[in-house]
Chains A and B, each alone.
Chain A
Amino acid sequence: MSTNLLALLPELVLTITGVLVMVLEPVIPAGKSRKPLGWLAILGSLLSGLAAFYQLQIVNAQGTLTAFYSTIQIDPFSIFFHLLIAAVVLVTLLGSLDYFESPITHAGEYFALVLFGAVGMMFMTSSVELLMVFIGLEISSISTYILAGFRKGRATASESSIKYFLLGSFATAFFLYGVALIYGATGSTSIGPIAAGLAITRTPTMAILAVAMVLIGLGFKVSAAPFHVWTPDVYQGAPAPVVGLMSTAPKAAAFAVLLRFLFNGTPMLHGHWILLIEILAVASMCLGNLGALKQHDVKRLLAYSSIAHAGYLLVAFTGTHQNAVAGACFYTATYAAMNVGAFLVLSQLSGFSERIRSIEDFTGLALKRPGMSALLGFFLLSLIGIPFTGGFFGKFYVFSGALQNGHVWLGIVGLANSGVACFYYLRLLAAIYSRPTSDSVAYIPVRKVTAPAAVALAATALATLGLGILPNKLVHLVERATPTTTAAVAVQPTQQ
């Protein structure tokens, strides 16, 4: 297999499966179940995960792979994110396989869009060329814009989709503008040459502006405050499994790009962007947690929590290069496990109609759905950061990285925030386990949990637990995931 094909193998697998799903969709008569398409998509995501694993073997044996005129770089860093994205997509697909068992006829599109979105995300993590990153960003964004509005006919769904699309396009424009400026400042849009160009640039101000632009664009994607305003509305309107997906996988990809860009591309400007990162981190943690305190809608609550978690993740960036990569990778993985899990439980409880939404609706849930309540409770405890869950170790890891680099006040702000955060998570938890006030539980239709959904739930729960009890394996992996820029610099002449 040529290096080029090998480097894109996971993305190729997903693209082919996605196209197949689209092609087969009209073949299945209207009114028939779209489930086989879902199974096909699941197979595709599984294969792409395996492909990423295969890449890992190759990289372990031969070292970093570069392809397409060194615009694509396959190293442990990108493979980690490939595996993570493949896992999130797989779990989301398993969990939403039976989500559409209603008169919805366009379920096939859903499966294809999830796959296409994943292609974009994976592409973002392995590109070391900002224009390629931009393409990946667009592929992933456009898919998620559509997915956000998938509960058609509801005002909130349309609001969700439109809002996401308008603000999202605006943000990508910022990103692109940043790329243009960095080209102006350094003469390149490739990570390695950018780093080299910054050393001799005569327009450092332009470069700083460019970094700020890129940060704004990606800050929007990861819903970091003050670019977070879209998050609650979009999460509220989007289908629960989609929220689980879009609050984790695209964010992971955007964080991967940020890590590469900031630490490999613009290390010379560290003194400048670290300040911006600190501001973003503090703002996200504080606004996210304070915003969540007053929420009644569970999805909105989790949206604010997701803003706060983006803040925790940004704290990781204040560590040294290795610490930042390790901390951010670990935290994205744990956050993916627990947040996808939480939204899967929501989607299983309330179904496509989403009748159960406010905290009041959850009152006394434990009596009717003990298993689901226990799972949701477990994910909430992990989001709080209780020991023996991934959330706890993630926080510990991230904050110890930040403290190691002397950001003591950031650590204090962050951990004080997690004290505030326990209030709203516990409020939901308390509602679940308190006695039902009126007929709050009575009208909840019990949806049977199907086998694929059970597998997905079990996988997320086990991952959350495993990362909490035995984080050693993943720590070991992420500690050597620090990407290098050597390859990109070495092959610069081929771009003539």
Chain B
Amino acid sequence: MLAYTIYISFFGALVVLLMPKGSRMAIRTVALLCAIAGFALALTAFVQHGTGELTTVALAPWIPSLGIHYHLAADGITLCLVLLTGVVAIAGVLFSWNIEQRVNEFFAFYLLLIGSVYGVFLSYDLFLLFVFYEIVIVPKYFLIAIWGSTRREYGAMKLAIYSFVGSAMVLVGLIAAYVVAGSHSMDLAALASYRYPLHFQMWAFPLVFTGFAILAGLWPFHTWAPTGHVAAPTAASMLLAGVVMKLGAYGCLRVAMTLFPLGLSSWGFHVLGFGSWRDVFAVLAVIGILYGALVALVQSDFKFVIGYSSVSHMGFILLGLMTLNQIGITGAVVQMISHGLLAGLLFGVVGRMLYDRTHTRELGKLGPMNLSRALPFATVTFVLAGMASMGLPGFSGFVAELMILIGAWRVSPLLAIGVGLGIVTGVAYVWRAMQKAFFAEATTIIDPHPPAPITLPEKLGTGLLLASSIAVGLYPQMVLRLIAPALNTPLFSGLHGGGW
């Protein structure tokens, strides 16, 4: 049934495209129904699936002579991320309820993006995974280039080029892996069980990992992310930060680390204190955490604050992966879910609730508008979301960051200190943005045009995202029960080394 998440989204895209131009309401409703259907399927599978072990969803030969199959499968990690996609997809439609321009095309691209994201998460054949991974780029590009705001063509192009270069690196690595293993199969399990020579893994791992990590906002290849997020329309930035960046992190874990686990082992020598690719990427991840947080601290554009905070939070995920112990990697997956929900929410507040009403994102201009009075709902939402993203207990961010912190501590206390500094800076930039935008010294002049009240779709979307984050925060076992068994399947056995 889970395969229908993809089909429904693609079919919905087609339907929306063919609907008459004027019927905006009908188009939105169809898009919403598709998103809800995907969510319902994901939720059913999520609830029914008890163990988190791998189950095949669909399997058919595609290009038999090259060993390429249409193979969809789901394990616990997949299920969590598919459910995340479902939640963010619904929220995204609700937050773009006010799109008036070229509605057909907007929602067609939107659903195409959603469908491809489901496809990446569910693919178990690497060729198929790559196909979906590349398709994601197209709607992403158009959503920003057509419906975006600030420097949208620049942002869209930058994002597309970074994505293409990243996926080109991935493709080289995948083809090399396929060829070295004897060109029989592109199946993930088959390739992951092949024992690649050490020297091959030593160059293939960084290639594929970096290729995927570009999309996950790895410092210093993160620069597409803030500009892309800022240029994108609200729903697109929600998806971009919420799920698309997760595709990169997912690829790192699912493909790079399972195929080439030896690529993480020691080089046997030290360069500037780095003894392995693992050291390199872990340090880059910590730099990303700190750099993103510090840059977010000095931004004057509200959306750039959120954009850089995404870079910082994605750094947590990459660091969690590089801990190579169960708690760290589990934390990374929880952080994918948590950041997916919270980034969606934060972009929703800034892009939809504030920008669409006030037409500015300058913190300095938002302050005098006395928004805490004018838009109390937005204020409360941002305070809650901000607290969640700081990592306060009770929200999903806390669970994730704690696990990553413990995982990092086990590897090296130095890393954990870096992470701790990042968390503190995180508190600072959220606090600063909150204070400047919502609780600044209000001017005495009463705005003759008070912003329109928050609409029902916005409230629903907010509720959905917040509730999900709190649910994961209060009852993390809900996702942990699925993630842990998935990490103990043979697929990840290459990672089960000393520190596991």
Chain A residues at the B interface, C-beta cutoff of 8 Å? 381, 384-388, 392, 396, 399-400, 403-404, 408, 411-412, 415-416, 418-420, 422-423, 426-427, 430, 433-434, 471-472, 475-476, 479
Judge whether A427 and B175 touch: CB under 8 Å: no
Q: Is B161 an interface residue (CB 8 A)?
A: yes
CB <8 Å contact, A399 and B134: no
Residue pair A419, B175 in contact (C-beta under 8 Å): no
Complex interface: chain B residues within 8 A of A420 (CB): 161
Q: In the complex, what's the smallest C-beta–C-beta distance from B206 to chain A, in angstroms?
A: 13
Closest CB of chain A to B494's CB: distance in Å? 22
A422 smallest CB distance to B (angstroms): 5
Cα separation A384 to B178 with both chains bound (whole Å): 23
CB distance A422 to B179 under 8 Å?
Answer: no
Say yes or no: A404 contacts B161, CB within 8 Å.
no
Given contacts A399-B171, A433-B146, 13 further A-B contacts (CB under 8 A): A385-B134, A386-B137, A392-B134, A400-B175, A403-B179, A411-B172, A411-B176, A415-B168, A418-B168, A423-B157, A430-B153, A430-B156, A475-B63
Expressed in whole angstroms, the minimum distance between the Cβ of B218 and any Cβ of chain A is 17
- A370 and B156 alpha carbons, distance in the complex (Å): 22
**In the assembled complex, which residues on chain A have CB atoms less than 8 Å from the CB atom of B153?**
430, 434
- Contact partner of B179 (CB less than 8 A), chosen from A386, A404, A475, is A404
8 Å CB contact of B131 from A381, A387, A419, A433: A387
Q: Which of A386, A400, A415, A427 contacts B169 (CB 8 A)?
A: A415
Task: Point out the residues of chain A lying under 8 angstroms from B132, CB to CB.
Answer: 387
- Secondary structure at the A interface, as helix, strand, loop or mixed, is helix
Inter-chain CA distance A400–B182, complex, in Å, is: 12
B138 adjacent to chain A (CB < 8 Å): yes
Q: Which residue of A lies closest to B141 (CB)?
A: A426
Q: Can you report 27 residue pairs joining A to B where beta carbons are below 8 Å apart?
A: A381-B138, A385-B134, A386-B138, A388-B135, A392-B131, A392-B134, A396-B175, A399-B171, A399-B172, A399-B175, A400-B66, A403-B172, A415-B168, A415-B169, A416-B165, A419-B164, A419-B168, A422-B164, A426-B157, A430-B156, A430-B157, A434-B153, A472-B62, A472-B64, A475-B65, A475-B66, A476-B65
Determine if B358 is an interface residue (Cβ-Cβ < 8 Å). no
CA distance A386 to B137 in the complex (A): 9
Cβ-based interface call for B277 (8 A): no
Contact status A404-B183, CB under 8 Å:
yes
Closest-CB distance, B165 to chain A (whole angstroms): 4
Interface residues of B in 137-189 (CB under 8 A from A): 137-138, 141-142, 145-146, 153, 156-157, 160-161, 164-165, 168-169, 171-172, 175-176, 178-179, 183
8 A-B pairs closest in CB distance: A415-B168, A387-B131, A419-B165, A419-B164, A422-B164, A404-B179, A400-B175, A419-B168
Question: Which B113-138 residues have a C-beta within 8 angstroms of A?
Answer: 127, 130-132, 134-135, 137-138
- Taking a contact as CB atoms under 8 Å apart, the answer to whether B63 and A471 are in contact is yes
Contact call A472/B63, Cβ cutoff below 8 A: yes
Q: Is the CB of A388 within 8 A of B145?
A: no
CA distance A259 to B388 in the complex (A): 62
Contact of B134 among A386, A403, A411 (CB under 8 A): A386
Residue numbers in B under 8 Å from A475 (CB-CB): 63, 65-66
Complex contact B131–A411 (CB within 8 A):
no
Chain B residues near A415 (CB, 8 Å)? 168-169, 171-172
The one of A387, A411, A426 in contact with B160, judged by C-beta atoms closer than 8 angstroms, is A426
A338 smallest CB distance to B (angstroms): 16
Min CB distance A348 to B, Å, is: 22
Chain B residues with CB under 8 A of A433: 142, 145-146
| Minimum distance in angstroms from A334 CB to a CB of chain B | 14
Known A-B contacts A472-B65, A475-B65; the reply to A422 vs B161 at CB < 8 A is yes
Contacts of A384 in B (CB 8 A): 164
Contacting residues, chain B, for A416 (C-beta < 8 A) = 165, 168
CB contacts (< 8 Å) of A399 on chain B: these are 171-172, 175
A residues in contact with B138, CB < 8 Å:
381, 386
Question: How far, in angstroms, from A430 to B171 measured CA to CA in the complex?
Answer: 25
Q: Which residue of A lies closest to B131 (CB)?
A: A387
With both chains docked as a complex, state the minimum distance between the C-beta of B267 and any C-beta of chain A, in angstroms: 20
| Chain B contact residues: helix, strand, loop or mixed | helix
Given the complex of chains A and B, what is the CA–CA distance between A471 and B175 in angstroms? 17
A475 to B62, CA, bound (A): 12
- Which A residue's beta carbon lies closest to that of B119? A387
A430, B179: Cα distance in complex, Å? 36
In the complex, A423 Cα to B165 Cα: how many Å?
Answer: 11
Given A418-B164, A419-B161, A386:B142 Cβ within 8 A: no
**A434-B160 in contact given A387-B135, A475-B66 (Cβ < 8 Å):** no
Is the CB–CB distance between B168 and A434 below 8 Å? no
> Which of chain B's residues has its CB closest to A402's CB?
B175
Verify B63–A388 contact, CB threshold 8 A.
no
Chain B positions within 8 Å of A412 at CB level: 172
How far is B135's CA from A415's CA once the two chains are assembled, in angstroms? 16
Within the complex, what minimum Cβ distance (angstroms) separates B61 from chain A?
Answer: 8
Nearest CB on A from B197, distance (A): 14
CB <8 Å contact, B165 and A411: no
Q: How far is the CA of A200 from the CA of B141 in the complex (A)?
A: 59
Chain A neighbourhood of B176, CB < 8 A: 403, 408, 411
A122 shortest CB reach to chain B, Å: 28
Contact of B65 among A387, A404, A426, A479 (CB under 8 A): A479
Chain B positions within 8 Å of A434 at CB level: 145-146, 153
Q: Mark B261-297, 1 if CB is under 8 A from A, else 0.
A: 0000000000000000000000000000000000000
Residues of chain B lying within 8 A (CB to CB) of residue A476: 65
Candidate in A388, A411, A415 with the most chain B CB atoms within 10 angstroms: A415
* Whole-angstrom CA separation of A396 from B168 in the bound complex: 10
**How distant is A99 from chain B, measured CB to nearest CB, in Å?**
31
When distances are taken between beta carbons in the complex, the residues of chain B under 8 Å from A472 are 62-65
In the complex, chain B residues whose CB is within 8 Å of the CB of A387: 130-132, 134-135
**CB-nearest residue of chain A to B203:** A408
Contacts of B141 in A (CB 8 A): 426
**Bound: A386/B164 CA distance, A:** 10
B172 and A408 contact, CB distance less than 8 A: yes
Expressed in whole angstroms, the Cα–Cα distance for A475 and B64 within the complex equals 10
CA of A407 to CA of B171, assembled, Å: 14
Whole-angstrom distance from the CB of B210 to the nearest CB of chain A?
12
Residues on A with C-beta less than 8 A from B161 are: 419-420, 422-423
CB distance from A480 to the nearest CB of B (A): 10
Inside 8 A of B127's CB, which chain A residues have their CB? Answer: 396
Hey, which chain B residues are within 8 Å of A404, CB to CB?
179, 183
A408 to B142 CA separation, bound complex (whole angstroms): 33
CA distance A479 to B131 in the complex (A): 23
The CA of A387 and the CA of B164, in the complex, are separated in Å by 12
CB distance from B299 to the nearest CB of A (A): 27
Give Cα distance in the complex from A433 to B146, angstroms.
7
Contacts of A422 in B (CB 8 A): 160-161, 164
Chain B residues within an 8 Å CB radius of A418: 164, 168
Bound CA–CA A381/B134 (angstroms): 11
Q: How far is the CB of A121 from chain B (nearest CB, A)?
A: 28
Residues of B within 8 A of A471 (CB): 63
Assembled-state Cα–Cα distance A475/B165 (Å): 27
Alpha-carbon separation in the docked complex, A399 to B175 (Å)? 8
Question: Nearest CB to that of A411 among chain B residues?
Answer: B172
- On chain A, the residues within 8 Å of B160 by CB distance are 422, 426
Are B135 and A411 closer than 8 Å at their CB atoms?
no
Assembly CA distance A441 to B233 (angstroms) = 26
Bound together, the chains give a CA A396 to CA B134 distance in angstroms of 13
Cα distance A430–B168 in the bound complex, in angstroms: 21
A412's closest neighbor in chain B, by CB? B172
Which of A422, A423, A479 counts the most chain B CB atoms within 10 A?
A422
For A430, the chain B residues whose CB sits under 8 A away are 145, 153, 156-157
